[in-house]
């Protein structure tokens, strides 16, 4: 193989190995319009990317007439899912509250019962799907993690 300082590109924009000083007589042409490939890559990133999400399920089994709020916060204590402050709702209907939110590290799950002297129950931090039971009455209630298959 011969060495040469010649760039190897001829007038048409093709790389000519022989012109560059190599024994191999081949050409490697550079695409004249690279934009279709760039547009395709941008479209793939924009439309095909998948966003992970976490799910928190809370089974509400409170005594009839009990209201609560349930919410999820990120690691900076920002509300990212569930109820807003003061948005109490019935928690006695034996229903499941589904809180789905974008993938975030170290999120916390919180519950508060309206009229209860007990403090807000805070659980976490988590980096996975979780399930809970909120049960009891205004005077004595619990917010316990439960097994689930999500």
Mean confidence (pLDDT) of the chain: 79
- pLDDT tens figures, 107-118: 999 999 999 999
- The ranges assigned to domains in the chain are 14-48, 53-146
Instruction: Judge whether residue 56 has pLDDT over 90.
Output: yes
Decide which of 54 and 28 is more confident. 54
- pLDDT tens figures, 2-11: 444 445 555 5
Only one residue has tokens 């689930």, namely: 148
Model pLDDT, residue 18? 55
The secondary structure of 100-141, three-state, reads EEECCCCEEEEEEECCCCCCCEEEEEECCCEEEEEEECCCCE
Q: Which of 13-17, 69-73, 103-107 has the highest mean pLDDT?
A: 69-73
Q: What is the pLDDT confidence band of residue 90, given thresholds at 50, 70 and 90? A: very high
Model pLDDT, residue 27? 46
Helix (H) or strand (E) holding 58: strand 53-62
Only one residue has tokens 């590290």, namely: 105
Model pLDDT, residue 40? 52
Model pLDDT, residue 113? 97
- pLDDT tens figures, 14-38: 555 555 555 554 444 444 555 555 5
Question: Does the structural domain 53-146 have CATH classification 2.60.40.1430?
Answer: yes
Q: What is the mean pLDDT of residues 53-63?
A: 95
Q: What is the mean pLDDT of residues 123-142?
A: 95
Please check whether residue 108 is in contact with residue 122, taking contact to mean a CB–CB distance below 8 angstroms.
yes
132 burial type by CB count under 10 A (0-12 exposed, 13-18 middle, 19+ buried): buried
Instruction: Judge whether residue 135 has pLDDT over 60.
Output: yes
22 burial type by CB count under 10 A (0-12 exposed, 13-18 middle, 19+ buried): middle
């Amino acid at each position: 193989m011969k060495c040469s300082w010649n760039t190897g590109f001829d007038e048409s924009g093709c790389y000519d190995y022989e012109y560059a000083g190599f024994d191999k007589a081949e050409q490697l042409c550079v695409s004249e319009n690279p934009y279709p490939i760039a547009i395709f890559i941008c479209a793939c990133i924009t439309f095909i990317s998948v966003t992970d999400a976490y799910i928190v399920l809370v089974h509400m089994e409170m005594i009839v007439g009990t209201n609560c709020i349930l919410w999820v916060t990120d690691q900076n204590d920002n509300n990212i899912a569930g109820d807003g402050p003061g948005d109490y709702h019935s928690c006695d209907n034996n229903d499941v509250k589904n809180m789905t939110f974008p993938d975030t590290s170290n999120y916390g799950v919180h519950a508060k019962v309206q009229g209860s002297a007990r403090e807000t129950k805070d659980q976490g931090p988590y980096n996975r799907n979780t399930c809970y039971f909120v049960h009891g009455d205004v005077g004595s209630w619990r917010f316990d993690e439960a097994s689930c298959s999500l």
